[in-house]
Amino acid sequence: MASPKTTEAIVAHCEALFGDLDFTAARRWKDAEPGRKVIGYMPIYVPREIIHAGGMLPLGILGGGDNIEVIHGDAYYQSYICRIPRSTIELAITKRLDFVDGMLFPAICDVIRNLSGMWKLMRPEAYVRYFDVPQNFRDDLGGEYYINELRELIAGLEGVAGRKIPDDDIRRSIAVYNDNRRLVQRVYELRAKTPWKAPTSEVYLLLRAGMVLPVEDHSRLLEDYLATCEARDRPMRDNCRIVLQGTFCEQPPLSLIKAIELSGCYIVDDDFMLVTRWLLDDVAVDGDPIANLSRAFLHASAATAAKYEPDPAQKGAFLIETVRKRAAEGVIFASPSFCDPALLDRPMLAKALSRENIPYISFKYAENSGQMQPIREQAGTFADSIKLWSEA
Amino acid sequence: MTTKPEKPAVVKEPSMLKQKAMIARNYDKLTSAPETGKKVVSTYVPGNLNELIMCFDMLNNLPEINAIQNGLRKQSGNMIREAEKMGHSEDVCSYVKADIGAMARGAIAPNGKPMPPPDLLLLSYTGCFTFLKWFELLRDEWGCETVMLQVPYDGDGKVTDNMRDYVVKQLKEEVIPAMERISGVKFDIDRLRENLKHSAAAEDDFVWVLQSAMNKPSPIDAYFGGVFYIGPIFTAFRGTEDAVDYYKLLRQEIEERIAQGKGPITPEGEMGEEKYRLVVEGPPNWTHFRDFWKMFYDEGAVVVASTYTKVGGVFDFGFRHDPENPLESLADYCLGCYTNRNLPDRVAMIENYMEAYQADGLLINSIKSCNSFSAGQLLMMREIERRTGKPAAFIETDLVDPRYFSAANIRTRLESYFQMIEQKRRPAGAPTPVAA
């Protein structure tokens, strides 16, 4: 795929992919060669390397956002359950996912977990797997369990792909994803350094493109964005620098991100689409690739609400480190309504921030929230208070 | 002026009195732990390892049960509001908030004495994501040691060797060493085997009790009455002789009821004619428990099988704790708990109950607090209707948050539902009776 060469063109391309709920790009990829397969996955993390090594396209399914009218999906869920599963069901019932050959439902919460069973009932012909991960982080315990789970996943995916997935192919895919992770990190570093050059409303779209494109195409897009963005001349504003926290599953509407930015905040880090940054470092490419993926998961992965923190002293440490590393001045907890992981975790993270005198605010959203004025006012007041009352 | 008829005195059967005494003794043991030096383990009902905890002379405290007790006593509402003032979201589990609110108010046990802080939080992460966060929150408050036992979710409907081995290895290398360290008692596997023998004996009689509802009329209500029958086996008594004796006694009482052709006992005495036989999915509401139950027995509706009575272990499909394979058996017990099973399995289980217990329909009590149960229930309902051709209905309440119990709304729905069952029973073309 030829990548557009100006920032504006790149962003426009990503926005078109973001708005396309028929997943045309992924459908085209599949149709380009007979026998190609697409594996959908939901937040928060799956080892995309394995899907890629099987010659298949990993497709991130993040709900329908605010561009879909949920008609059927609401009949599957009570009013007190978050929105992402109902819009995902809507995508399925309206046949927008009929080209997807398998679905992975990661261990993130009970709603996504149960959605895996619903999928089994609704699409008995499809490959459906609840992707469990260890909450014990010892190599010889949680690691051993995880390696066996990965082997089972590989066997299942081989069934979909119709061929074996050899270790050498997984090693090559790990290298491809290492490149992609490094590029994403570079984008995040660029944004943290010069957020006026790489606003989050753009970075977000850039990451979203990675949910539907082949990883190689996405990496080229990231390279082009970095090249064009660094050369870009945009005015720096007197905004405050914040970390956005809680957005790891159901996605905020793009208008919410823009509202926060327009209110006087630079978002210098976030937890959108953690699958792109879940593994914090390169995964080793030599040796047993499954053991390497396991070690990376156990010892060098992001701390988030869906993970158990065995060491009480470390609760909130990852967020505080992010605040320090990005020279952020505060945290905005933006959690989807009825999101158990984000909302149960928030009091503990807030307490950790308070101990470090890091200011924060919190609010809730849904993927289809329409009224942004209250959020803009709340974020704007937060930004003003930081500017007025911070010690700097 | 008409005088209100006097309510008949509630007859307490010997098994009820026995259970009450067992619970009171356990709370006394817990609240006197600071004096006796006994160590307290907090853990959860699903994946409850009571047999193992007893091997270390430790006491078992279950936060869900404390929240239920506070719900039944109508104290949970204030506790929940207290937790929300502390920053906990109105959207999350009300058990968690009732527990945290209770702590903020001094953590008073039902016997009126302060509940001591736990010495160990045994995070048996079985079938419910919230458990994981709940114990992180409690650890943050109590500052005590936490040991995690991750029980993999049965996503594919079968327990693999990898899942079982993972649980067993955690028991051997994480849970048991932590218990030995904290209690100062060396693990004795023969003691565990002895406890498991008691578990299996109690489980036999417990299953007999549940399956007695296959009789017509059913001698028990397997949901509202069932929550009392699961009391000992799901909490701090599984593995004890007390539990074995309790279930023997209960069984004898129910055998007598069957012999006499009696239906279930309700809080207002013997239930009248059995008109509707229901299967219920989902936990009950605790804040209005008796009002809720009354809506059923007033209409002659008896619950013949329920999924909530499987939340702390599924025993009616053959599983028993096995003294010959103690740790593997504990793993299988945890892996098989109801909410650790995938939705297709849950649907199959309900379908089985509908047939085996000759139920007229399925009622889902969907709980706002509990995504583990609730997410997917509307699809489950449709599947059951499709497979059995019997009517299903859906009501919504909460566990211990009284703000989510709307009596009028539930009553109306139940009345409509019972009419629907009547319609289904009538042969096609038969006229609808006109209400008097």
Distances (CA, A) of B318 to A327, B51, B159, B321, B413: 59, 19, 15, 10, 36
Q: Which of B130, B146, B153 sits opposite A340 (nearest CB)?
A: B130
- Residues from chain A that touch B140, judged by Cβ atoms under 8 A, are 312, 315, 348, 351
Å between B67 CA and nearest CA of chain A: 17
Residue B115 lies in a domain: yes
Q: Is A291 on the interface with B (CB under 8 A)?
A: no
B309-336 pLDDT, tens digit per residue, is 999 999 999 999 999 999 999 999 999 9
Q: Is A308 on the interface with B (CB under 8 A)?
A: yes
| All residues at 6 or more sequence positions from B163 whose CB lies less than 8 Å from its CB, including other chains | A145, B152, B154, B331, B335
Instruction: Compute the distance between CA of residue A284 and CA of residue A296 in angstroms, rounded to an integer.
Output: 8
Percent of chain B residues past pLDDT 90, beyond the cut: 94
Kindly identify which residue of chain A lies nearest to residue B379, measuring between CA atoms.
A76
pLDDT tens track of chain A, all 392 residues?
565 689 999 999 999 999 999 999 999 999 999 999 999 999 999 999 999 999 999 999 999 999 899 999 999 999 999 999 999 999 999 999 999 999 999 999 999 999 999 999 999 999 999 999 999 999 999 999 999 999 999 999 999 999 999 999 999 999 999 999 999 999 999 999 999 999 999 999 999 999 999 999 999 999 999 999 988 888 999 999 999 999 999 999 999 999 999 999 999 999 999 999 999 999 999 999 999 999 999 999 999 999 999 999 999 999 999 999 999 999 999 999 999 999 999 999 999 999 999 999 999 999 999 889 999 999 999 999 998 877 55
Kindly identify which residue of chain A lies nearest to residue B173, measuring between CA atoms.
A141
Query: B342–A130: do the CB atoms touch at under 8 Å?
Result: yes
Residue B2 lies in a domain: no
Q: Which ranges of B40-104 does DSSP label H, i.e. alpha helix?
A: 50-54, 63-72, 76-85, 94-104
Closest CA to A21 of A90, A107, A75: A90
| Cβ proximity of B64 and B45 under 8 Å | yes
CB pairs under 8 A between A and B: 161
How many domains would you assign to chain B? 1
ipTM: 0.96
Long-range contacts of A57-60 (CB under 8 A, 24+ apart): A57/A26, A57/A29, A57/A30, A57/A214, A58/A215, A59/A23, A59/A26, A59/A100, A59/A211, A59/A212, A60/A210, A60/A211, A60/A212, A60/A273, A60/A275
Q: Which of A81, A120, A309 sits opposite B375 (nearest CB)?
A: A81
| Confidence (pLDDT) at B434 | 55
- Residues from chain A that touch B403, judged by Cβ atoms under 8 A, are none
Å between B273 CA and nearest CA of chain A: 34
Question: What domain range includes position B38?
Answer: 14-425
Residue B294 lies in a domain: yes
Residue B202 lies in a domain: yes
Which of residues B431 and A227 earns the better pLDDT score?
A227
Q: Could you say which residues from 346 to 375 on chain A have a Cβ atom under 8 Å away from some Cβ of chain B?
A: 346-348, 350-351, 364
pLDDT band of B8, cuts 50, 70, 90: low
Kindly identify which residue of chain B lies nearest to residue A106, measuring between CA atoms.
B155
- Residues from chain A that touch B366, judged by Cβ atoms under 8 A, are 78
Residue B435 lies in a domain: no
Is the pLDDT confidence value at B124 over 50? yes
Query: B133–A114: do the CB atoms touch at under 8 Å?
Result: no
B322-381 pLDDT, tens digit per residue, is 999 999 999 999 999 999 999 999 999 999 999 999 999 999 999 999 999 999 999 999
Residue B430 lies in a domain: no
Residue B432 lies in a domain: no
Å between B13 CA and nearest CA of chain A: 39
Residue B4 lies in a domain: no
Instruction: Compute the distance between CA of residue B191 and CA of residue B73 in angstroms, rounded to an integer.
Output: 37
